[in-house]
Amino acid sequence: MPRRALITGGAGFLGSHLCGRLLAAGFEVLCLDNFKTSVEDNIAQLTSARGFTFIHHDITQPFFIEGPVDYVLHFASPASPPDYLRLPIHTMKVGGLGTYHALGLAKGKRATFLLASTSEVYGDPQVSPQPESYWGNVNPVGPRSVYDEAKRYAEAMALAYHRAHGLRVRIPRIFNTYGTRMRLEDGRALPNFMTQALRGEPLTVYGDGRQTRSLCYVSDLVEGIFRLLLADSPEPLVVNLGNPDEVTVLQLAREVLEVTGSGSKIVHRPLPQDDPLVRRPDICKARQILGWAPVVSRRVGLRRVLPYFQKAVREQARTRAEVLA
Ligand SMILES: NC(=O)c1ccc[n+]([C@@H]2O[C@H](COP(=O)([O-])OP(=O)(O)OC[C@H]3O[C@@H](n4cnc5c(N)ncnc54)[C@H](O)[C@@H]3O)[C@@H](O)[C@H]2O)c1
């Protein structure tokens, strides 16, 4: 029998890549989503694939799946700052109620549960790089707390299910990832810069741009998640997944100008509240227990993703022109 996996948020940027990876490995995939922050196009190439089923559902509402489920991967959540600032209550509901429903299914089916957590659980870190043992520095009442605290709560709930019910739990703490299928208006630094550079608009850098990020190419991230899902351990595994190659936001803007060949200028805007100043994963644990490390350099990744953004910007411009005509 093929292994059967349910992915909440499976039509999103990461979820859709993960659906493809699991199908390629011979899994049967149930993709659950309500397109709150994604578009159907993301899964267009999967809908006719053998073993793929789409379930249109809001994970904050109870649900049931017939038949066996071996893996539950909980990816549903607004993920970019503009999304979770626009959807603050939904973000908390999907991290709270959504996680509760996904855990309930995993418990009932005796499935392995994997929670897409985030580097944001470290908040604005006082330690760099961030190892999994770091407890973080999160402002519980700041605007970003709806996301950070929802993910911290979700991690705590997953561990409670492990301790109370012996559930097998996997928690990747995902650091900034980029790749095809990111929305142009996603709001994170890379899609912002790509879109602005390709439109010939100024690139917006918040603050002086000396804050750092580390960007992981999507195929590397998906490989790490796949290995973590299948890791052979009854113990809960909490593992950073990301690329430790740190870059300042200003340097990233310059690299995007170079790769796109754009003549856009860089402009500075005030730093948003609680924006983390450093972000770099310590990936020793992933190397040790998964034998995993990213293999796609930023130089290669930016070139690889460029045609996607070029096409998306062209199509958006055409649609706008048609609307105005
Ligand atoms: N992309 C990253 O760099 C990154 C970094 C850290 C963590 N993560 C985590 O990975 C997951 C996916 O992120 P992404 O970048 O693919 O974001 P995304 O917005 O593209 O995907 C999230 C998906 O969840 C769906 N969703 C939201 N609310 C839902 C609900 N109530 N019911 C069903 N579906 C719902 C959305 O429609 C979307 O398809 C998130 O949990 C996010 O916190 C992502």
Instruction: Give the residue-averaged pLDDT of 178-188.
Output: 93
Judge: domain 4-181+217-243+278-294, CATH 3.40.50.720. yes
pLDDT greater than 90 at residue 2: no
Percent residues over pLDDT 90 in the chain: 93
Contact indicator for 11, 40 with CB cutoff of 8 Å = yes
CA distance 296 to 32: 29
Is residue 149 very low, low, confident or very high in pLDDT (cuts 50, 70, 90)? Answer: very high
**Of 71 and 274, the one with more pLDDT:** 71
Confidence class of residue 273 from pLDDT cuts 50, 70 and 90?
confident
Whether omega before 234 lies within 30 degrees of 0, making that bond cis, reads no
For 68, 84, 164, 247, 323, the CA distances from 77, given in Å and listed in that order, are 25, 8, 25, 26, 31
| pTM, to two decimals | 0.96
Task: Give the model's pLDDT for residue 261.
Answer: 97
The string of DSSP letters for 52-115 reads EEEEE--TTS-----S--SEEEE--S--SHHHHHHSHHHHHHIIIIIHHHHHHHHHHHT-EEEE
Rounded distance between C-alpha atoms, residue 174 and residue 119, angstroms: 6
Ligand 1 site, residue 122, Cβ cutoff 6 A: no
Which residue is closest in CA terms to ligand 1's atom 44? 79
Catalytic residues: 147
2 CA to centre of ligand 1 in angstroms: 26
Kindly report, residue by residue over 119-146, the tens digit of the pLDDT. 999 999 999 999 999 999 999 999 999 9
Residue 236 has pLDDT above 90, yes or no: yes
3-state class of 28 per DSSP? strand
Asked if residue 60 has its Cβ within 6 Å of ligand 1, the reply is yes
Residue 278: what pLDDT?
A: 87
Report the alpha-carbon distance of residue 191 to residue 179 in Å, rounded.
9
Residue nearest to atom 39 of ligand 1 (CA): 12
Identify the pLDDT of residue 41.
95
In this prediction, residue 250 carries a pLDDT of: 97
State the average pLDDT over residues 246-271: 96
Contact status, residue 31 vs residue 75, Cβ threshold 8 Å:
no
Q: Is the pLDDT of residue 275 over 90?
A: no
Query: What is the average pLDDT value for the chain, to the nearest integer?
Result: 96
**Least confident range of 90-94, 124-128, 187-191, 272-276:** 272-276
How many helices, marked H, and strands, marked E, lie in the chain? 10, 14
**DSSP E strand boundaries for the chain:** 4-8, 28-33, 52-56, 71-74, 112-115, 117-118, 169-174, 177-178, 203-206, 212-214, 216-217, 237-241, 246-248, 266-269
**Pocket lining: 15 vs ligand 1, CB cutoff 6 Å:** yes
pLDDT of residue 276: 83
* pLDDT in the model for residue 325: 81
CA distance 258 to 267: 16
- pLDDT above 80 for 206: yes
Residue 13 Cβ contacting ligand 1 at under 6 Å = yes
Across the range 5-26, mean pLDDT stands at 98
Residue 13 CA to ligand 1 centre (angstroms): 7
- The span from the CA of 262 to the CA of 200, in Å, is 7
Predicted pLDDT of residue 208: 93
pLDDT of residue 274: 80
Percent of the chain with pLDDT over 70: 100
Regarding beta strands 169-174 and 117-118, do their DSSP bridges make them parallel or antiparallel, or are they unpaired? parallel
